[in-house]
Amino acid sequence: MKMIIFQSLGGLGLFLFGMKIMSEGLQKVAGNKMRQILSMVSNNRLVGCGVGAIVTSIVQSSSATTVMLVSFVDAGLMSFVQAIGVILGANVGTTVTAQLIAFKITSYSLPAIALGVLLKFFIGRKKWVYVGDILLGFGLVFFGLATMKSGFAPLKSHPTFISLFTKFNADNVGGILLCILVGSILTMILQSSSATVGITMALASQGLLDFEASVALILGDNIGTTITAELASIGASINAHRTARAHTLFNLIGVINIVIFFPYFLKLVAWMTSYMMDIGPPDLLVDGQRPNIGRYIANAHTGFNVVNALFFLMVLPYLVKVAIWLTPHKEKEMDLDALRHIKYIDNRYIDTPSVAIAQARAEIVRMGEAVQLMYNDVVYSLENRKQEELSKWRKREDIIDSLQKEITQFLTAVMQKSVSPEESKEIASLMRMANNLERAGDGVENIAELLEELMEQDLHLSEGGNHDYNLIARKVGDFLNLIVSAISKEDKDIMLHAQQLEDDIDRMREEMRSNYIMRLQSALCTVDPGLILVDMLTSFEKIGDFCYNVAQAVAGLK
């Protein structure tokens, strides 16, 4: 019995580890392009579905796709409706894993592991290291699956286990629902729909599960996999919540539809597999095993998601309405309590750079919005001269410093993992953005302190000084708005506009200093408020410099 447990669990461990390595390798090869493709999805639901299917097929991880989608929606890079179309496709794309597992290519697992180790540890070039990860993971997946099958083999003659598995009989509604429940719980625990599929195929190949019960377990697997998107939406915006809710509705309603027509769905899968693909019956025994049943299970998994996607593509507007109805709460305005803590980045995804980078970018956009909020509160407080309103800058500055520290620590941890050269460059650019936004916050702090001095001493700027102050304040505010928007949209063409704003701010500072001297010579202003104005002009110009540095990072120049 010990050998059965060790072999079964060891095989599962190898399978899960192989899936992780293979998925990470694929994401390192295609991660940057994957995010770019996802962020450019159109409003056409068919295009979105196709993109979701292709991207998920490539990276072999629907979890990575859905988490990234939630981050994109949360950061405003993608609309709620666009994300739903992509999720429909992601559910289809993830079935490629089951199709691969169903192929009888276990004999290639050890050569793949050997070649993967050679490329990963002995070649040295990063590109081949990632290919090595893919091959090593691929080999471990199939070696783990073979080990699981060998571990389960003695169970088919064990009376206790025979009586246990006979309870998984999908010949009535109660049995179907029991299998669905077990499949859902198992997937939630393992956090991998592919692992549930692999275990189901291994048990079915040994005759411990029949075709009907296997399909019911796979239906549960599709419900259990929605937990990833739900967890990713915790603390996110209302549209991110709705995206996760739509994903759950899609799979839950789809399972209900299939359960209603369960016998006919099984006949459809059996017909497609046996007649169209010329595969023998699922219960065919060869040397005590069922060699064909894996293909039937994989086709049921794919068939469910394809049928589901086609159905919901036709009724997508209604799915959107139901998701909105289920998530009716209003979006809260950004306040000090909301800003105080990290919202998007999650240390669980440090090992998945493509997701981690998207999360960090969303957090930096939020940090930029915090700087904008602080800037507007401080700069325009001169009009009403209310010191209690102006004094909020201290808490806001502490929050911005805290955000910068946590973002930098997160990106440093990601950088220390195995990342591609493109990802390494992007992480460095993101760090530069966060650091310069924090410095822009320091610039706003300087302006706030100068305004406090102005108000405490009851000093007033001259009419010309007020005009110059408001003029440069608006220009710098425009620059802040530009860079925050560019970070969010990954606008590589920002530099032309950024250079113009940088030149305008530098020119305005020099002209306004000259204006002050002329007013002083003409006795149109006094010395003390004028000197404070000159210091504020310097701070505005420095904020412009920091914005320009952010623009360079967004454009990929530094």
At 549, the pLDDT band (50, 70, 90 cuts) reads very high
State whether 550 and 411 are in the same domain.
Answer: yes
Task: Please indicate, yes or no, if residue 246 is contained in any of the structural domains.
Answer: yes
Task: Please indicate, yes or no, if residue 532 is contained in any of the structural domains.
Answer: yes
For the stretch 418-436, pLDDT in tens is 777 788 888 999 999 999 9
Please state which of the ranges 351-360, 398-407, 469-478 shows the lowest mean pLDDT. Answer: 351-360
> What CA–CA distance (Å, rounded) separates 197 from 214?
9
Task: Please indicate, yes or no, if residue 58 is contained in any of the structural domains.
Answer: yes
At 48, the pLDDT band (50, 70, 90 cuts) reads confident
Domain housing 176: 2-326
State whether 130 and 175 are in the same domain.
Answer: yes
Residue 43 has a pLDDT of: 65
State whether 228 and 342 are in the same domain.
Answer: no
Sign of CA dihedral 174, 180, 186, 188: negative
Task: Please indicate, yes or no, if residue 489 is contained in any of the structural domains.
Answer: yes
Residue 67 has a pLDDT of: 67
Asked whether residue 401 carries a pLDDT value surpassing 70, the answer given is yes
Question: Contact, 495 vs 479, CB < 8 A?
Answer: no
Of the residues 280, 306, 326, which one is the last residue of a structural domain? 326
Please state which of the ranges 167-171, 220-224, 370-374, 466-470 shows the lowest mean pLDDT. Answer: 167-171
Q: Which residues contact 452 (CB under 8 A, 6 or more apart)?
A: 387, 390, 391
Residue 358 has a pLDDT of: 80
Residue 324 has a pLDDT of: 81
Residue 74 has a pLDDT of: 62
State whether 312 and 403 are in the same domain.
Answer: no
State whether 360 and 254 are in the same domain.
Answer: no
Sign of CA dihedral 464, 467, 470, 472: negative
Q: What is the CA radius of gyration of the chain?
A: 29
The residue ranking higher by pLDDT, 161 or 462, is 462
Of the residues 302, 326, 350, which one is the last residue of a structural domain? 326
Residue 333 has a pLDDT of: 44
Task: Please indicate, yes or no, if residue 331 is contained in any of the structural domains.
Answer: no
Residue 248 has a pLDDT of: 86
Residue in this structure with the two tokens 């410095």, named with its chain if needed = 439
- Copy the structure tokens of residue 445: 């702090």
The three-state secondary structure class of 95 is coil
State whether 180 and 230 are in the same domain.
Answer: yes
Query: Which stretch, 5-9, 195-199, 296-300, has highest mean pLDDT?
Result: 296-300
State whether 393 and 517 are in the same domain.
Answer: yes
Residue 199 has a pLDDT of: 84
At 488, the pLDDT band (50, 70, 90 cuts) reads confident
Task: Please indicate, yes or no, if residue 76 is contained in any of the structural domains.
Answer: yes
At 90, the pLDDT band (50, 70, 90 cuts) reads confident
Of the residues 306, 326, 346, which one is the last residue of a structural domain? 326
pLDDT above 70 as % of the chain: 82
- The mean predicted confidence, pLDDT, of the chain is 80
State whether 274 and 406 are in the same domain.
Answer: no
State whether 30 and 136 are in the same domain.
Answer: yes
Asked whether residue 186 carries a pLDDT value surpassing 50, the answer given is yes
Q: Which residues contact 93 (CB under 8 A, 6 or more apart)?
A: 52, 53, 54, 55, 56, 57, 58, 62, 65
Burial classification of residue 36, based on how many CB atoms lie within 10 Å of its CB (0-12 exposed, 13-18 middle, 19 or more buried): exposed
State whether 381 and 356 are in the same domain.
Answer: yes
Averaged pLDDT for residues 130-147: 84
State whether 532 and 478 are in the same domain.
Answer: yes
Q: Which residues contact 10 (CB under 8 A, 6 or more apart)?
A: 144, 147, 151
Asked whether residue 375 carries a pLDDT value surpassing 50, the answer given is yes
- Copy the structure tokens of residue 135: 């091959």
At 71, the pLDDT band (50, 70, 90 cuts) reads low
Find the CATH number of the domain harbouring 409.
Answer: 1.20.58.220
Question: Contact, 465 vs 525, CB < 8 A?
Answer: yes
Residue 541 has a pLDDT of: 93
Asked whether residue 40 carries a pLDDT value surpassing 50, the answer given is yes
Asked whether residue 149 carries a pLDDT value surpassing 80, the answer given is no
Write out the DSSP string of 275-331: IIS----TT--BTTB-SSHHHHHHHHHHHHHHHHHHHHHHSHHHHHHHHHHH--PPP
Residue 332 has a pLDDT of: 47
Task: Please indicate, yes or no, if residue 473 is contained in any of the structural domains.
Answer: yes
Please state which of the ranges 139-143, 157-161, 214-218, 365-369 shows the lowest mean pLDDT. Answer: 157-161
Averaged pLDDT for residues 11-19: 81
State whether 321 and 348 are in the same domain.
Answer: no
At 517, the pLDDT band (50, 70, 90 cuts) reads confident
**Count of domains forming the chain:** 2
Asked whether residue 367 carries a pLDDT value surpassing 60, the answer given is yes
Residue 334 has a pLDDT of: 46
Asked whether residue 76 carries a pLDDT value surpassing 70, the answer given is no
Task: Please indicate, yes or no, if residue 181 is contained in any of the structural domains.
Answer: yes
The residue ranking higher by pLDDT, 169 or 310, is 310
pTM score:
0.64
Residue 387 has a pLDDT of: 58
Residue 331 has a pLDDT of: 46
For the stretch 269-324, pLDDT in tens is 989 888 877 788 877 777 777 888 888 998 999 999 898 888 888 888 888 888 88
> What CA–CA distance (Å, rounded) separates 548 from 476?
11
Asked whether residue 246 carries a pLDDT value surpassing 90, the answer given is no
Averaged pLDDT for residues 171-181: 87
The residue ranking higher by pLDDT, 546 or 381, is 546
> What CA–CA distance (Å, rounded) separates 30 from 420?
10
